[in-house]
Structure 1
Amino acid sequence: MGSGSSKVEPPVVVSSKIPLFCLKKLGPRHVLVAGGGGESKTGVLNLMQSYLITFGNRGVSKSTTPILAKLVETIDTDIYATMNMDVVCCSNPENGRYLIAAGHGQYCDVYETTGYRSAKDESDNDALSLAIRSVGRLTTSEKVESFQKCVRFDRSTAGKRVVTGGEDGRIRVWNTRALVEDRSPETVHDPILDIEAHKSDVFDIDIALDGRIIISVGHDGQAKLWDMNLGTLIREIPFPNECPTGYKETHGIFVTAVEFLDRTAPDALSLVPQPTSGPLRQIPGPAACARASLISLSADQTIQVHNLPFETRSPTMFLIKLFLLSLILYYVIWCLYLL
């Protein structure tokens, strides 16, 4: 997204009344944010909110993508502020079925979307939404003061496994499918794997696309690769001596989450006549008007949209190339004439 400060401020599409800590895409046209005031008695609610990303914000000047975000769904998370979250599609995108894992203190609460529905936005207009309901809860730490720090679904299994990282330095792999099939709150779910990964907090985790390797980053400054099935350490990754210097100043305070928007909308392919052979016809998504678009969430309680525009060919460079080509052609013709 370039380096240094940008002259044009990115448009703010959401200004929240509560502190937000998490942001994830919920399909190609929705984003899910979450946060709150936690257990404090300040009156700040703990919420998960779904926004429909649509076009039509014509008031945003100098924006290549006039994006508008409409609040369409709100979930109360009781006394817990969601501090980490992940989302995975668990069926055909057109079915609107997703699993959501949210870190609530020592617990990982799992939610599901049951499909698309029509809802009312803040202006009481009809808007496309996803119906969200609770599935169950995993106790990711037996210690009350120990918090879940990060969570990630295994996308190779469409969310049948989920991995959590805790304040106790441990990585745990869970059978999400068992939780979905047995939703009784009395059922105790134990982790498939329990790995002593780091000496203190597990800051972040991710899973390879084939579901075979977990990477973890800890407060101890170490990054490690783990075998997803055996729980054994594959290797430690050395910290790079130099970090990239490219950056984009935005928000004015630290950014807590970023997500790339989709250039296509795979949840509506059946609405478009498709060819009998060859590639499928795609429907443009929120990022179709740019080389790349991402949304950023910050401690200033706003969500901004950032666009990387398509490269435009310079007419000056074209004329220079045409001039040089003409000179070469003239020289060749002149040489042939002398012969």
Structure 2
Amino acid sequence: MGSNRNMVTDCLLAKVNFPLYAAEMLTSRHLLVAGGGGSAKTGVANGFEIYELFHNGQHFVAEEIQRHETGSEVIMNMSMRSFQTRSLLVVGQESHSQMFIIHPKVGQLPPREIQHRRESSTEVRQRKNRERTESMGSEKEQDDGQKMKRVYFEIKAADSVQTDFTKSEPLQRVVRISPDGRFMVTGGLDGHVRVWNFPKMTPLTDVPAHKKEIDDIDFSPDSKNYISVSKDGMAIIWSVLKGKELMKLQWTPPEGVKYLFKRCRYATIEGNTDNYRLFTLSNPFGKSGKQKGFLQQWNIETGRLNNIVAIDESLSALAVRDDGRFVAVGTMFSGSVSIYIAFSLQKVLHVPGAHSMFVTGLEFIPVMTKDAPPISSDVEASVVSYSVDNRICIHSLQYRHSLPAWAAVILIVVIMILTFLLCSYFQI
């Protein structure tokens, strides 16, 4: 992997035995990753795995907690919200949204999970477990959760609803649950954007939003609006309750090349849900030579660009941290990952070749959590990347050096004294 002077860790967290298409932070320190090999008889399972993340004083480590298989249907997209004592996970499986109810438990791991951990242990996991042993001492001496009480999760399948109605091979492309947990929005191959009451999963609005398939959707932090982007080249902001179009994003691509929006994400400003930014990724359409991809920041009042950054290749993944301070992007061809300051779009970290294939998604380690304190570490920001190369990696940004307050005061005093002496010398 590549290196950067601002990077503390850039390491493989885990490697699973199926391609990865989606991930969510289940808690402040538990990562859920999902994917699979599809319905073909390839021997590659479909489902999701849950990992506990921690920092051992030198770098992040992931330990597998449990695995849940979902039969013959691969998980291509998902969204999750936590409600007091449970989390509701909705996954896209072909034309349907399937809900899972996840309850945290404290105790010994169920026997089936202990057996799976023994059977699926890999060299990477064993190395991480040894590191955890060194950092946590005798606590890890209990083998595989048989004697040690720990957090695990009870997972139950719940309701399922069809969300895409394409006549030939319908497919849900994206699902999002609103920040307030009241709505779910889905998009698929038929170009319709459907809003559902959540968690009842009953229909609220059905908007024929686009002429081609939906690529991405995201809710505004106040849960009043959502944005949809499609292969028809449009990015449109809609009202959640009325299904009314509010705004189209407009910009002028360089050199007359056609560009398509690929990903969209809202971001709060310092965690304020009433004050937020909007980010998109745009890629050149078709064979456009060496045209660049773009990370874009939008004025949500006018639908015009605030800022834009060119990147040397097409882009595949976008994430923003929960406090809105950082944005991360993943690339299509080189499998690279970069982190930017959200306000200025200044690049502060670049990891070339983080994955051997395109980055399917990114998840920041959260810093604003209600369920438990965030993971303690010596870095300013960390983002998890995952890919169809079966690898889960993490990339961390070291705290950038700034002038201490006491030094700033001394510097100001020195400048004032020098200014006074200079003025006295010239009798100004």
Q: 1:219 to 1:287 in 2, by over 3 A?
A: farther
Look up the match of 1:275: none
SS at match of 1:329: helix
Extract unaligned runs of 5+ from structure 1. Answer: 180-188, 269-282
1:53-103 superposed Cα distances (whole Å, 9 cap, x missing partner):
1233x7xxxx5xx21111112111111110001111223xxx3x2111100
Distance 1:170 1:48 in 2: 27
Distance 1:234 1:328 in 2: 53
Q: 1:329 is matched by which residue type in structure 2?
A: I
Say whether residues 1:154 and 2:181 are aligned partners: no
Which of 398, 422, 425 in structure 2 is aligned with 1:309? 398
Tell me the CA shift for residue 192 of structure 1. Answer: 1.6
TM-score, normalised to structure 1, is 0.77
Distance 2:38 2:10 in 1: 30
Extract unaligned runs of 5+ from structure 2. Answer: 118-142, 255-293, 295-308, 312-337, 339-349
Look up the match of 1:19: 19
Look up the match of 2:224: 212
Look up the match of 1:197: 209
Q: 1:299 to 1:323 in 2, by over 3 A?
A: same
Q: 1:72 to 1:330 in 2, by over 3 A?
A: closer
Distance 1:105 1:305 in 2: 29
Q: 1:251 to 1:287 in 2, by over 3 A?
A: farther
Distance 1:170 1:331 in 2: 66
Which of 236, 241, 244 in structure 1 is aligned with 2:248? 236
Assess if the C-alpha contact under 8 Å between 1:256 and 1:298 holds in 2: yes
Write 1 or 2 for the structure with the bigger share of strand.
Answer: 2
Say whether residues 1:114 and 2:114 are aligned partners: no
Say whether residues 1:225 and 2:237 are aligned partners: yes
Look up the match of 2:389: 300
Tell me the CA shift for residue 337 of structure 1. Answer: 10
Look up the match of 1:10: 10
Tell me the CA shift for residue 193 of structure 1. Answer: 1.0
Distance 1:336 1:44 in 2: 81
1:279-338 superposed Cα distances (whole Å, 9 cap, x missing partner):
xxxx3x2264322111111222111111121122479xx79x978965863674697799
Assess if the C-alpha contact under 8 Å between 2:211 and 2:232 holds in 1: yes
Assess if the C-alpha contact under 8 Å between 1:52 and 1:128 holds in 2: no
SS at match of 1:262: coil
Tell me the CA shift for residue 235 of structure 1. Answer: 2.0
Assess if the C-alpha contact under 8 Å between 1:32 and 1:50 holds in 2: yes
Distance 2:83 2:400 in 1: 36
Identity rate of aligned residues, in percent? Answer: 28
Look up the match of 1:258: 362
Distance 2:205 2:242 in 1: 8
- Bigger radius of gyration, 1 or 2? 1
Q: 1:336 to 1:75 in 2, by over 3 A?
A: same
Distance 2:359 2:386 in 1: 6
SS at match of 1:266: coil
Assess if the C-alpha contact under 8 Å between 2:55 and 2:376 holds in 1: no
Q: 1:68 is matched by which residue type in structure 2?
A: V
Say whether residues 1:53 and 2:53 are aligned partners: yes
Q: 2:398 is matched by which residue type in structure 1?
A: P
The aligned length equals 295
Which of 306, 310, 320 in structure 2 is aligned with 1:245? 310
Assess if the C-alpha contact under 8 Å between 1:174 and 1:193 holds in 2: yes
1:246-282 superposed Cα distances (whole Å, 9 cap, x missing partner):
64322242111101112355324xxxxxxxxxxxxxx
RMSD between aligned alpha carbons?
A: 3.0
Q: 1:259 to 1:334 in 2, by over 3 A?
A: closer
Which of 102, 109, 112 in structure 1 is aligned with 2:91? 102
Q: 1:83 is matched by which residue type in structure 2?
A: M
Which of 134, 137, 142 in structure 1 is aligned with 2:160? 137
Q: 2:18 is matched by which residue type in structure 1?
A: I
Q: 1:328 to 1:214 in 2, by over 3 A?
A: closer
Say whether residues 1:172 and 2:194 are aligned partners: yes
Distance 1:338 1:140 in 2: 79
SS at match of 2:174: strand
Look up the match of 1:87: 80
